[in-house]
Amino acid sequence: MTNLHSSNKVRTRSDLLTLLSEACELEHGLACSYLYAAFSLKQHLSEGGLTWEQLHKVKKWAAQLYLVASQEMFHLSQNWNLLNAIGGTPYYMRPNFPQPSKYYPIRIPLTLEPFSERSIKRFIMYELPRNKGERDYLKDELGYQGEDLYEYTTVGQLYDLIREGILSIPENELFVGIPELQMGKEQIDFQEIVKVIDSKSALDGIDRVVEQGEGNESEHVNSHYGIFCSILAEFLQERKLNGSLYDPVRNAITNPVIHIKGDYRADRGNYLTNEFTAQVADLFDDLYNLMLRVLHFVFSAPGQTQLNRRNLCSFAIAMMPMVLKPLGDAIMQLPAGRLYPGKTAGPAFSMSRHVILPQSENTARIVILERFAELTNRAKWTATTRADLVVLDAVTQNLERLKTYIQ
């Protein structure tokens, strides 16, 4: 394979597959990082530190972060269409958190941290428009500096490399994938998703991802970059006006770890030592992994009926607001354990050594239903051990509702 780090050029299909898989890892990791920050924001006056007016502003920030995270999942899906189109396969694995600063050329750690000035500045850097001075931003706002001439420092620059690769390989040689695997908005609830069949549609898909992240040359307001800048400005203003009385963030730990799952841990995190909290966090991870496996199956297995694809997509997408969001919010209010006095936990978003679903639609349905039944029973049992945690009952009821999509 071409040495991208010495040439910074994409010359072969293998190079392009590598960069697209890296983009999948990065988009997936960013979605988790944004969700963790959203979960850490207080949602009730009873949590203290907020007036009624401030609470509603904080809820708005959480909603904006949830929106951005959902759009990162669209970016992951668009990359799966791109991978399928050029002879690759959908990819969703990634190292567990925290990921060190040099894991990607982006040179900023990818971690699970509560909402703060520094975490939002990190988010801004990830989505920094290409016409901004990223080296100055790294030094002035985040304190990173170095002499490395690395290949990309923002998500947009990574997609520039992918774009160049698509343009450098003859179209009739590059697009060798199975057309029926392409997913459009009629199958999945991402209205922006593009079916990739040639260079034009591939570049269109990339443009939609990049503009959603950093905005276009003249407009950044509604992009991820613009949203993060707006949140940061509002947060700093509130803090300036109210000082120590203003406390919108839950006192959560960073980079929670339930237990080592295989060798997917990139670095040492903070182990949850409260047994019940660890059980709930483990349930979150297993539901999250099932969602990913189902979504991956829809994009990777040929011969599926359109109804099955649509139902499985609806199941996976609905898992996010109906199950993972309330469960993640609940974990952020549970104690992390005796090692962290006064600190709450958070979801670990752990990846483990699980097997992807089989290509057969009927066999996959059996495996999905079995695993779903196991997790639903675990959710019910967990709910019975803490009757005061009503969110667990709500999650269990939502799981029962979602079962109709996969039967």
B/e letters for 223-241, b = 16+ CB within 10 Å, e = fewer, are bbbbbbbebbeebeebeee
Q: Can you give 263-284 as a three-state secondary structure string?
A: CCECCCCEECCCHHHHHHHHHH
pTM over 0.85, yes/no: yes
Please state which of the ranges 91-100, 116-125, 190-199, 361-370 shows the lowest mean pLDDT.
91-100
Q: What is the dihedral of CA 389, 250, 127, 3, to 10 degrees?
A: -80
Q: What is the pLDDT of residue 150?
A: 36
Kindly tell me the burial class for residue 3, based on how many C-beta atoms sit within 10 Å of its own C-beta (0-12, 13-18, 19 or more).
exposed
Distance from chain centroid for Cα 164: 25
Q: Give CA–CA dist 261/267, Å, rounded.
A: 12
Q: What is the pLDDT of residue 2?
A: 41
Output the CA–CA distances (angstroms, integers) from residue 375 to 272, 305, 315, 370, 400, in the order listed. Answer: 21, 26, 15, 9, 11
Q: Is CATH 1.20.1260.10 what the domain over 254-407 is classified as, yes or no?
A: yes
The alpha helices in 219-360, defined as continuous H runs, are: 224-242, 275-300, 306-319, 325-331
Q: Give CA–CA dist 307/311, Å, rounded.
A: 6
For the record, the structure tokens of 74 come out as: 């669209």
Beta-carbon-side half-sphere exposure of residue 190 (alpha carbons within 13 Å): 29
Provide φ and ψ at 271, rounded to 5°.
Answer: -75, 130
Cα angle 369, 370, 372 (rounded to 5 degrees) comes to 60
Tell me which fold the domain 1-250 belongs to.
Ferritin (1.20.1260)
The domains of the chain are located at: 1-250, 254-407
Please state which of the ranges 54-68, 130-144, 358-372 shows the lowest mean pLDDT.
130-144
Q: Over the stretch 36-95, which tens digit does the pLDDT of each residue have?
A: 999 999 999 999 999 999 999 999 999 999 999 999 999 999 999 999 999 999 999 888
Q: What is the pLDDT of residue 280?
A: 97
Q: Give CA–CA dist 361/399, Å, rounded.
A: 22
Q: What is the pLDDT of residue 109?
A: 81
Same fold yes or no, 1-250 and 254-407: yes
**Mean pLDDT score, 302-326:** 96
Residue 3 has pLDDT above 50, yes or no: no
Q: Over the stretch 284-313, which tens digit does the pLDDT of each residue have?
A: 999 999 999 999 999 999 999 999 999 999
Q: What is the pLDDT of residue 173?
A: 96
